[in-house]
Amino acid sequence: MSESTFLLIAEPSHQGKRVDAVLASEMEEQSRSGIQKLIEEGLVSINGKKAAKNDKLKSGDEVSVTVPPPKMLDVLPEDIPLSFVYEDAYLLVVNKPKGMVVHPAAGNPDHTLVNALLFHCGDSLSGINGVIRPGIVHRIDKDTSGLLIVAKTDEAHRGLAEQIQVHSFLREYEAVVYGRVKEDDFTINLPIGRSKTDRQKMCVTYENAKPAVTHVHVIGRYEQFTHVRCRLETGRTHQIRVHLSYMGHPLAGDARYGPKKVIEKLHGQCLHAKTIGFVHPITNEQLFFDSELPAYFTSFLAGLS
């Protein structure tokens, strides 16, 4: 496949609107985040000059977009059992187990959720944003268990990504954190960016950071731990782990953001993506899915009682 070019002459209805928003609405094969990536790579121009994502259009502006060919993934299908909560022709919801990596990367080239999805779905997975990376609309960490939505078509992928971007996509997690959290309900509104001292970690920072909002509700308190529910308003990398650690309540079992002495029997952070809710991007049906807490989580809670 070769690169392609998309041309747009801004209409009066585009006047004053951001170029990334207009292009996302006009280019069916691209999401807004995909457009922003193209802009960052210098592949979008307005009247011959490279565009910025927050540039606003005027009627008559000539917008050119160079779309690179999709990169083929060197990923093989693997017959790995998965727990499906929902599936139709456009999307599916899977209950990912703790310890499974979502997407192949250095150090984890196989045995991932994507390998399993390729076996289950074959070619019926979305491949937008310039990379044929099957269906993954949002991710959860390797050692986080729980619900994950996967798009089978590009149209479904775009619709789901837009819901996440405007914060209308419900994502609720349950976690066990160190210490007795005092407030019953509170919101953490602190920006998150990559750590300067450890590139594998994220941190609360105001430098090169993105807004991050987590709503926290206490479910139960124990002598040295608290069981909480976290609702994501944004979806930054490691958001819940970073926010709660910053507040002095790191997640039990979290080797990266918690105490040096790790609770090894948890095999990673005690965090489960329990609930998701969204509007079906094709049928407009309101969907809501809730999963049971896995055995590692309930066993740990039982030991605290």
As a whole number of angstroms, the distance between CA 164 and CA 173 comes to 16
Taking the C-alpha atoms of residue 31 and residue 158, their distance in angstroms, rounded to an integer, is 5
Cα pseudo-dihedral 199, 143, 104, 191, rounded to 10:
-40
Active site residue 141: yes
> Which residue among 20, 79, 123, 141 is the active-site one?
141
Q: At what angle do helices 32-40 and 154-165 cross, to 10 degrees?
A: 80
3-state secondary structure of 267: coil
The residues with which 238 forms a beta bridge, in sequence order, are: none
Tokens of 182: 């005092």
What is the DSSP track for 193-238? EE-SS-TT-EEE-SSS-B--EEEEEEEEE-SSEEEEEEEESS--TT
Cα(252)–Cα(147) distance, integer angstroms: 20
**For the chain, first and last CA: distance in Å?**
59
Token pair, residue 286, equals 């309101």
Write out the catalytic residue numbers.
141
